[in-house]
Structure formats: C-alpha cells, structure tokens
Amino acid sequence: MMSLETIIKGRVSQKSYTDQKVDRELVLKLLNTAVYAPNHKMRQPWRFIIIDGKARLDMQERYTKKIKPELKEKVDITFGKILKAPLIIAFVMPTNLDYDIEFEDIQANASVIQNFLLLAEEAGLSTHWKTPGFIKTDHFKAVLDVKNNELVAGLIMVGYADEKAHDKPRYPAETITTFYK
Ligand SMILES: Cc1cc2nc3c(=O)[nH]c(=O)nc-3n(C[C@H](O)[C@H](O)[C@H](O)COP(=O)(O)O)c2cc1C
C-alpha cells in the first residue's frame, strides 16, 4: 500500500494521457470518498459533472460555436489541452451573497478536489486541475447546465498518464515557517 506521503508527492499535474478510458464507476467510487472533505455546517457545497468520451467534443462544440471569432484561437488551444484527458470533472459549487459563506465553500471545494486528486493518484490515475478563464462565463455555464447561482470551481482532467510529469520542488517548510512568540 502506498503511503500518504508517496501519494501526495506523486500527484502532479499531468498534461498527456493514453487513450485508455476511465471507468465511470471508479470515478463515482473515488468521489464518494472525496466528499468526506471538511465543509462548514455540513453544507456539502458541491456537485459534480462528468464529461467523458464524445460528450467532451460536444461540450467543446457547443461552447466554441457561439464565441467571438477573436477568442476562438485561444479557446481552441485551451480545449485542445483539456480534451487530452479521456474524462473531465467539473466541480460545481453554489455562489453565496454572503462573502464569508462563499469563502468557506471555496475552501471546502479545494478540499474535496484535493481529496479526489489523491484518491485518483492512489488508483493509478493522473489528473490536472484547470481553471481556464471561460469557466466563469455565462455561456460556458449554460453549456454545462450550471445555474446562475453556481460557479465552476475547477475542471479536473482525469486519465492514465502516458509519460508521467515530474514533480516540482517546493519551498522547504523551514524557510516559510515562523514560531510565534
Ligand atoms: C486552483 C488551481 C487552478 C489551476 N489552474 C490551472 C490552469 O488553469 N491551467 C494549468 O495548466 N494548471 C492549473 N493548475 C495547476 C497548477 O499550475 C499546478 O498545480 C502547479 O503548477 C503545481 O504543479 P503540480 O500540480 O504538478 O504539483 C491549477 C491549480 C490550482 C490549485
């Protein structure tokens, strides 16, 4: 069994994937564990949209056919990268007029996403968390059927790595930690 340290350090943002499909049941199983993330007042401020196989191309087509021509090249490049994964998960959260609640819910979403990334790593999958600018647009939200009072916290690419990305060094904790006196 892999140690948690190995799983945390092994998770890297993966750009390239094999064609191997990702089993939907496996993804649901991982999500069912990921939701044990901390969340204030048990609001469980999340839902998930799985976009796999041909649906990925449908999503791209529905989005790109209605955008301004000057944006098309940039959006095509971004979709080209995202669609390299055989499965994508949109993590969707409610917006809230109360900033404090929304702030907590964003953090809870980061927790559920990281849980998912680590569980995926343990299951032999690779992932990449992406937040392209267009996820905030009404048009993209409409394409995914995300409501006005929701936002897309992130798009998570999921698949099997062809050549696994390298990890990136971090600041040692000793250099960024102080002991309060
Ligand atoms: C909230 C968030 C948003 C991110 N958005 C993007 C993105 O839009 N495009 C991208 O290539 N990577 C994105 N990343 C991935 C980071 O660039 C990546 O985690 C960072 O470079 C560290 O590399 P690692 O994940 O391989 O450890 C995002 C990560 C987080 C946490």
Average pLDDT over residues 23-52: 98
Ligand 1 neighbourhood includes 131 CB (under 6 angstroms): yes
**pLDDT at residue 63, as a whole number:** 97
- Sign of the alpha-carbon torsion through 17, 124, 108, 41: positive
Best of 130, 136, 157, 164 for a ligand 1 pocket test (most atoms within 8 Å of beta carbon) = 130
**pLDDT at residue 1, as a whole number:** 86
What's the chain's average pLDDT? 97
Q: Report which protein residue has its CA nearest ligand 1's atom 11.
A: 130
Ligand 1 neighbourhood includes 84 CB (under 6 angstroms): no
What does DSSP assign to residue 3?
Answer: -
Ligand 1 atom with the shortest distance to the CA of 12 = 26
Tokens standing for residue 177: 């930690």
Domains defined for the chain, CATH in brackets: 4-162 (3.40.109.10)
Percent of the chain past pLDDT 70, that is, above it, reads 100
What is the 3-state secondary structure of 102-130? HHHHHHHHHHHHHHHHHHHHHCCCEEEEE
pLDDT tens digit sequence for 141-163: 999 999 999 999 999 999 999 99
Ligand 1 center from residue 160 Cα (angstroms): 18
Ligand 1 center from residue 128 Cα (angstroms): 7
Average pLDDT over residues 15-28: 98
Model pTM score: 0.97
pLDDT tens digit sequence for 56-100: 999 999 999 989 999 999 999 999 999 999 999 999 999 999 999
Ligand 1 center from residue 57 Cα (angstroms): 23
Element (H, E) at 89: strand 87-94
pLDDT exceeds 90 at position 10: yes
